[in-house]
Amino acid sequence: MALRTKTTLLVGLFFLLYTWGVKAQVKVEVEGRVEVARGQNVTIPCLYTTDDGIGGLTIEWFYLEPTGKRHRIYLQDPTMRIEDTATPFTGRIKVDVNGSQGNGQVILTIMDARLGDEADFICRIKSLTDGSHEGVTQLRVFERPDIPTIEGVDTAIWYTNIKPVKIGSCEAKNGYPRPNITWYKDNSPLVNIPNEVSVVPLVTMDSSGLYSVRSELSLNVVKEDKDSDFYCEVNYLTVGGNAMMESNKIKILVNYPTDEVNLWVKSPKRDIKEGDTVELQCQGNGYPQPTFTFRQGGEDLKSNSNVLELRDVSRHNSGVYECFTLNAENFNDVVGNTTLLVNYLDPAVVSPDDTHMLFQGEELNASCNALSSLNTHIVWMKNGVKVATGNILLLRDIVYDMAGTYECMVTVPQLVGMETSSALQLIVQGQPEILKPQITSLEETVESTVVLTCRARGYPKPTIIWKSPEVQIDTVSSNETEDEVVSMASVKVTSDMNVTCNAVNQNGNKEVLFSIKASEFLHALLVYVLVIQTDTAIPPKKIKRESSGVIIAVLIICLLLLAVLGSVLYFLYKKGKICGRSGKQDLTKEKTSRDNIVVEMKRDNTEEAVLLAVNGDKKPGEQEFSLPTHPSLIHLYRSSHYVSQGNYEQKDDTKRSQRLCGDEWEGTSKEG
């Protein structure tokens, strides 16, 4: 349309100049060519110039047959307008005239353009005075073909063929004028090459004049054609010029023999270990895939596909695997191979194994080995704690605490899940050891009961025997834990006495001496204190009347005695004999805050001694008048309980000694 407008403008300009200049005949200007799509309305314009007004003009439209014969289709003169009958355009045309003095426009409209409408149209204008003139316009009608369809052959093609074979066909239907089909392989057009490429078009035309073009492609197929894309392109003319459309792309199946075979481990993708299920895959480079035979060590293996499955593999499955097929072209064997490596880890062997018995002070040199195709990592564990790395476990100067189960754990860092373990039980033999008691010399009131506890260990398990030359040991109860024997003896204090705890086994014996001092003074004092404290029913005057003088004397002596006792305890504390430093500190702190007992003299009114229990702020340093650390005072008339505790005195056993020393007063406040 743009074309037409431009032409019109040019023509208009020309006329303007022309009429300005020379007064001449009637002049007609038309477009050389007008294009229309089938079924559309088309207008063919005709411009004229004349000196006459519109009223004196005769307008005629003709079309030319291919033979050159002219047929009128329209006539208009000052008296009438006629559309000629019995022409191919009858009933489908319309003529519009408008114009003014000098120039004007006649427009022929042909409705519903048909293929047969293609012809030359003549616009003729005759003036009464200026003569006549005419112009010819060629009308072109187009029809766009349907989108092209493509069909490939659905059977595979042997690439060894000598002649081109049919690959597929392409069709473009219902176009006008005749469309062209071009074949493409991977974006390059295919042209006829003898013995290589043959493109055969077949053109048909239907009753309405539309063309259908079908094109068959034959190729001498090569192996690489299996990867090629084939398609066709339709070129056609339409309003405004050339246009094209492409078909879908197709691939073809090409048969070609296998001349190379590959074999590989399909799964697992990691290193292979014993027990895995392994899949070996075989693939040839031909199409279709041939059948394969798997072989290892000269023996055929069963498989009904191109995958060989090996279940629960062992190291014996390691080796070179081959996969065979026959080249269908030259009947040679084609072989692929791969090497399978099945890794293994044998059970761990510990030496010495099982239970191993050693004496204290001896040395253990144990080894742990597990045969493997890969590097192993070995650790020794005891009670879940790593004690050594590497295959040797070396324990020098063995002590009881080293007894137990040592587990050797072997892993393969390269292959998760490959592991083995074995264990060694170490028994340490030796003479008994007694847990060092915290207090071995004690002072108790007469008639009280003391419970002494003795803890011993050793292998074989020691027997604990309580002895005292002075007194019979009343009751003994004992208890055995995994590595200890605990024995408790109840002793009634009658006089000063020595009690020994003796632990015996076949390797020797150990004993510990508790020396008990029986205190009458203490007894008296405490009886008195108890009376004041507990028996409030007795009036204080009564006591005063009876024995106030004696009591004062006794109390003074008691005070002196307590002072002496205090300094003795302080001395013991300084020497660190009672327990390890940390244990002692805990003890004093706790006891001072809870059971700080102060003896105070009240001389003013009553001259009575009053024992006050104070939960005071006394610090451990100012203990001269307090008796926190001596158990005999704290426990008054209760039965006292002495526990053998502390340290088994092993250099490398700090953990254990701390724990034991922390236990200190456990069980001491047991009611008598």
Ligand X SMILES: *[C@@H]1O[C@H](CO)[C@@H](O)[C@H](O)[C@H]1NC(C)=O
Find the Cα–Cα–Cα–Cα dihedral 116, 122, 123, 126, rounded to 10°: -140
Among residues 519, 660, 526, 545, the alpha carbon closest in space to that of 608 is found at: 545
Which of 82-90, 104-112, 146-154, 205-213 is the region at the interface with ligand X (rule: CB under 6 A)? Answer: 104-112
Identify whether 179 is preceded by a cis peptide bond (ω within 30 of 0).
no
- H or E stretch covering 655: helix 654-662
For Cα atoms 183, 188, 190, give the angle at the middle one, nearest 5 degrees. 40
The nearest distance, CB 480 to ligand X, in angstroms, is 7
The residue among 368 and 627 lying less far from ligand X, judged by its C-beta, is 368
The nearest distance, CB 458 to ligand X, in angstroms, is 18
C-beta of residue 183 within 8 angstroms of C-beta of residue 151: no
Among 7, 498, 500, 650, binds ligand X (CB under 6 A): 498
Token pair, residue 605, equals 């009114």
Contact call for residue 111 and ligand X (CB under 6 A): yes
The residue among 289 and 337 lying less far from ligand X, judged by its C-beta, is 337
The nearest distance, CB 111 to ligand X, in angstroms, is 4
Contact call for residue 8 and ligand X (CB under 6 A): no
The nearest distance, CB 105 to ligand X, in angstroms, is 4
Q: How far is the C-alpha of 511 from the C-alpha of 433, rounded, in Å? A: 9
Runs of H (alpha helix) within 144-281? none
The residue among 225 and 443 lying less far from ligand X, judged by its C-beta, is 443
Among 8, 40, 267, 289, binds ligand X (CB under 6 A): 40
Among 8, 25, 105, 650, binds ligand X (CB under 6 A): 105
- H or E stretch covering 20: helix 2-21
Q: How far is the C-alpha of 91 from the C-alpha of 380, rounded, in Å? A: 110
The residue among 255 and 391 lying less far from ligand X, judged by its C-beta, is 391
In sequence order, the β-bridge partners of residue 394 are: 365
C-beta of residue 230 within 8 angstroms of C-beta of residue 184: yes
Contact call for residue 337 and ligand X (CB under 6 A): yes
Contact call for residue 500 and ligand X (CB under 6 A): no
The nearest distance, CB 289 to ligand X, in angstroms, is 19
The nearest distance, CB 547 to ligand X, in angstroms, is 32
In sequence order, the β-bridge partners of residue 87 are: none
The nearest distance, CB 322 to ligand X, in angstroms, is 6
Contact call for residue 41 and ligand X (CB under 6 A): yes
The residue among 453 and 640 lying less far from ligand X, judged by its C-beta, is 453
Name which of residues 564 to 603 contact ligand X (CB under 6 A).
none
Q: What are phi and psi of 503, to 5 degrees?
A: -105, 125
The nearest distance, CB 320 to ligand X, in angstroms, is 4
DSSP letter, residue 576: T
The nearest distance, CB 43 to ligand X, in angstroms, is 10
Contact call for residue 497 and ligand X (CB under 6 A): yes
Contact call for residue 320 and ligand X (CB under 6 A): yes
Contact call for residue 239 and ligand X (CB under 6 A): no
Among residues 135, 128, 123, the alpha carbon closest in space to that of 79 is found at: 128
Among 355, 405, 515, 547, binds ligand X (CB under 6 A): 515
Name which of residues 379 to 438 contact ligand X (CB under 6 A).
394
Binding track over 197-236 against ligand X, x by CB under 6 A: --------------------------------------xx
Question: In b/e form, how buried is each residue of 624-654, taking b as 16+ CB within 10 angstroms?
Answer: eebbbbbbbbbbbeebbbbbbbbbbeeeebe
Q: How far is the C-alpha of 109 from the C-alpha of 139, rounded, in Å? A: 12
Which of 85-93, 99-107, 286-294, 560-568 is the region at the interface with ligand X (rule: CB under 6 A)? Answer: 99-107
The nearest distance, CB 262 to ligand X, in angstroms, is 8
Q: How far is the C-alpha of 210 from the C-alpha of 583, rounded, in Å? A: 115
CB count within 10 Å of CB 152 equals: 18
Contact call for residue 291 and ligand X (CB under 6 A): no
C-beta of residue 471 within 8 angstroms of C-beta of residue 424: no
Binding site for ligand X (CB under 6 A): 40-41, 98-100, 104-105, 111, 179-180, 235-237, 320, 337, 365, 394, 470, 479, 496-498, 515
